[in-house]
Amino acid sequence: MKILVANLGSTSFKYRLFDMGDTEATLLAKGGFERVSEYTACIGEMLATLKADGHLASGDDLDAVGFKTVLGKDLSGCVEADDRVLAALDGFKEVAPAHNPAYAEGIRCFKEKLPAVTRVALFETAFFQWVDPAATVYAIPQSWRELGIRRYGFHGASHKFIAERSAELVGNDAVFERARGLYVDGPSDYSGDPLRVISCHLGGSSSVVGIRNGVAIGSSMGFSPQSGLPQNNRVGDLDSMAIPYVNKMLGLSMEEAERQLNKESGLLGLSGVSNDARDVREAAAEGNKDAQLAVDVLIDSIRHWAGSFYFKMGGAEVISFTAGIGENDANLRAKVCAGLEDLGVVIDPAANDATVRGKEGIISAPESKIKVCVIPANEELVIAREVYRFKQSH
């Protein structure tokens, strides 16, 4: 079964083509386009490339196209990307303006270009469908809650992969199977050995998630992808009273305040250097105090949320790092785990320094009670697997 995973940005289009089997997935091709203004032309060029390379005889050779949709109003899960999905994306386009319009347009373009090919949306919020209401409900008026304002959680495909791979690494087959079948079967009953994972997805956009026995118990992210940890140029968590105060003191409109919080904040706003963690880290190493502050704020926020989930789960067996910063920054990983020896975390400095992006590794020492891992992100594979299961069950 050939499944195409489409990753759509406001100005980019990336894809991966998988050949799916019951036990494994083979990556056949990948590619992408930047500075995209219209998706139909990109889809046509992609299909021409896949034909020329011998991967497809025609577009109809595709069994399905999977989309990593972010946030839908009154809709989540792994579902057919039909008019209901388009309405859900449109319903929250103001909440995820960089993501929802792009995916809605892309889905429409694929429908027009390849009408006979099944389209499946895997929402980033899907992994958090079973989080207890006490961890998702804001203390706001009911009329606000009825609008769908609550904690959702994002990076769901990444954290689900961590749930599965962590279980494999510690040899817990029962949790692996529970995590793998989550979107089809829901959280099945479990009474085996516990597996509590603190999953740190750290990149241009970052989140920390607690995972108990393959199922998320909460996320640092909330109503929108702008919340939680400080992001590359997005603020993360902020007291709501800051906005009316800035409006009064600086004369900023609501729109301008929102723009600055989404475009000029986060690592960029703190460092004054860049929204790229590599540039910020380099500037900090050269003595830039603002850049060092940006690094320190990010580390403190990671520790804050990781500590919260450690407390909520009553401990942890695994701490996992993934995505660009999590996979690349050995110094940050060491500082996140510093001083936790009494909790059972002991980092192996040599293993930590040797583990770089794209390389999986155990960076904790053999005597560490909590296994600390670096697991390369593989969101596209998760989407392909879930689209395959969707096709099998429909």
- How far, rounded to the nearest angstrom, does the alpha carbon of residue 44 sit from its chain's CA centroid? 28
Same domain, 119 and 163: no
353 in the same domain as 229: yes
Residues 344 and 201 in one domain: yes
Annotated binding residue 325: yes
Continuous segment of H or E residues that includes residue 193: none
User: Which has the closest alpha carbon to 320: 233, 180, 195?
Assistant: 195
* DSSP string for residues in 60-118: GG--EEEE----BTTB-SEEE-SHHHHHHHHHTTTTSTTTHHHHHHHHHHHHHH-TTSE
In this predicted structure, which of 36-45, 108-117, 320-329, 378-387 has the lowest mean pLDDT?
36-45
- Asked if residue 136 belongs to a domain, the reply is no
- Does 278 belong to an annotated binding site? yes
Do 42 and 169 share a domain, yes or no?
no
In a domain, 370, yes or no: yes
217 is in an annotated binding site: no
pLDDT digits (tens, 9 = 90+) for 343-381: 999 999 999 999 887 789 999 999 999 999 999 988 999
Same domain flag for 318 and 187: yes
Q: What is the pLDDT of residue 40?
A: 84
**Whole-model pTM?**
0.93
Q: Is residue 338 situated within a structural domain?
A: yes
Same structural domain, 46 and 175: no
Proportion of the chain above pLDDT 90, given as a percent:
82
Residue 310 to residue 197: CA distance in whole angstroms: 9
For residue 116, is it within any domain? yes
Domain total of the chain: 2
Q: Which tens digit of pLDDT belongs to each residue from 84-120?
A: 999 999 999 999 888 899 899 999 999 998 999 999 9
Please tell me whether 288 is known to bind a ligand.
no
Domain shared by 186 and 241, yes or no: yes
Any domain includes 110:
yes
pLDDT, position 84: 97
- Residue 284, in any domain of the structure: yes
Q: CA 25 to CA 19: how far, in whole Å?
A: 6
CA–CA separation, 375 and 322 (whole Å) = 5
Find the CATH number of the domain harbouring 341.
3.30.420.40
CA 249 → CA 245, 246, 255, distances in Å?
6, 5, 15
Position 335 pLDDT exceeds 90 = yes
Q: Does 277 show up as a binding residue in the annotation?
A: yes
- Assigned domain for 102 exists: yes
Question: Binding residue per annotation — 383?
Answer: no
Q: Is 134 within a domain?
A: no
Give the closest residue to 122 by CA, choosing from 43, 164, 172, 184.
Answer: 184
Using DSSP's 3-state secondary structure scheme, residue 7 falls into strand
Pick from 34, 28, 38: nearest CA to 4: 28
| Residue 118 shares a structural domain with residue 161 | no
Shared-domain flag, residues 50 and 96: yes
> Annotated binding residue at 193?
no
Is 162 annotated in a binding site? The answer is no
Does 326 carry a binding-site annotation?
Answer: yes
Answer yes or no: do 161 and 280 share one domain. yes
Structure tokens at 104: 């809605």
- Enter the DSSP assignment of 392: H
Please give the mean pLDDT across all residues of the chain: 93
| Domain housing 232 | 156-379
